[in-house]
Structures are given as C-alpha cells and as structure tokens.
Structure 1
C-alpha cells in the first residue's frame, strides 16, 4: 500500500474514491434529465412518488449529516487516549467516511427519478451538495485532518 502518512498520497487515494462515488450519481442525473427532455421517462404513481420523495429526503439528510457524524464520533472514541493514529487506520477511516457521505447523492437521484415534489427533491439535492462539498478531499482538509489525528507511520501505544 502507498505511504498513508504523506498528505499528497492520502489525498490522491481519497480523491479517487470521491470520483468513484460521485461520477455515477452525476451521470444518473444527466441521463435521467436527457430522458425527461426526450419524453422517455415513465411517470410513476402519485402515491409511490410521494413515498419515495419523503424517504429520499430523509435518507439524503441522514446520509449526508448524521451517519458521517456518528461514524466519526465512533472513530474518535476508538482512538481516544492515543498519542497518534497509524496512517493505514486513518486512511481506512477517511475512505469509509467518504463512501458513507457520498451515498447522499444517490438518495437525491432517487427523488429526481421518482419525480418527487420540489420540496423533497430540493432538500435531498441540497443535502447531496453539502456532502459533496464538505467531504471533498482538498489538500487543506486532508492535512488538517492528519494533523488533528496526529497521523504517523506506526501507531504509538
């Protein structure tokens, strides 16, 4: 495995994961928009649309905010009292955190495909944008996180 204590390496790994998660959701949005414009998109039953809209609205918010927050709290608790965190352990945590949060765009895509109300789709989409923006693995964010957890090559006991 690559050196998980180097900021550039960690950022590269996380950026690849970011693209792997976000690009299919963007393609789904674009493809469905094209189908709608061409008149090829089926119209779902109103009751099903309402249920899917509500579920995707709540799901997107939970996936963008609550699940990453709880996962991060669990990780912080597991490394509490340590002087540092091993690079591989930190990278695994960041990859999972990114994967969890970037499920929110898929929930928003469900709302879009289902033809949910503007409120439910808008809320889902805003939650997805939040997840995509907040968890973007910028150099500044990655280095700050690595400093916060005091990432080292070997875990200190």
Structure 2
C-alpha cells in the first residue's frame, strides 16, 4: 500500500509549517510531517543552511519521503523549491504516488513582517526566495495564508483531496 503525499511549497515565513500542523490535525488519515527545517536541524551546530557541506539535502528529503510513502505512510512535505532542480527531483522521486503539490502564497510585505516577528530567520530570506520559489512549478492547488487562516487553507487542501 502506497501513501499519499502533499507538498507545501512557498517562501520562508509563508506559513507552511503551521498550515502543515493544521492539515495533520484535520485529516481523517494520519500524515507524517517531513520538513526542510527538520533536516537542517540534523546538521551540526553553526553550519549554515544551504552550506556546501550538504549539497543534496533537498534530494535527500525527496528520497526520504519516497521511502515513507513506499512503506504506506501519508506524508506532508514542508519545502522551499528555490529553483527547478528541487521541483524536478521531488516530482521524479514521487511520480508513482498520489502526489498533490500546493502553492502556499503570501504577499511580500506580509512575509517581511512575519520574518521580523519570528526572529529566527535571516532578514531578507523570504524576499530572496520570493521571485524564484514558484517559477516553473505546476500546482494542483493554491492557498493564500494572508487572505485565509491556517484552518481555512487546510480545509481547502482536504476538500481538493476528495
């Protein structure tokens, strides 16, 4: 039995993680959360995210999600594509599964406010990702975390899966 995979793609501070947690709580089936942040949390202290020491981190995530789905787990993926390579790798690894790719949108001005309020992200990170994160990505659904609450966005995703 193969699992379902929901990929949430958007810039840093777009609300992907809180959306993923709401989605987990609202889904009738159990979904594991596989996030880019969790993978970076595995790295040694003081080695920056995106470091050349970890050139294939996003490919490792894609292969990990594939392994989870192959063993029957449903997975929500919290990720930032930042270019075609990550998108191609992920869709290649997951093409045999029930895959839903969701665009998580938020206006740049709000992203910058959220980024400052969080205090745990490099200032300007969301802006640096804003133009490239969605380029060339084919989405099954789009949600807007500025116009809608996390609960509403989660429900939109659930409704699209039925």
TM range (shorter): under 0.3
- Relative to total residues, which structure has the larger strand share, 1 or 2? 2
TM-score between the two structures when normalised by the length of structure 1: 0.25
Name which one, 1 or 2, has greater alpha-carbon Rg. 1
TM-score by length of 2: 0.25
- Kindly indicate which of the two structures has a greater share of residues assigned to helix: 1
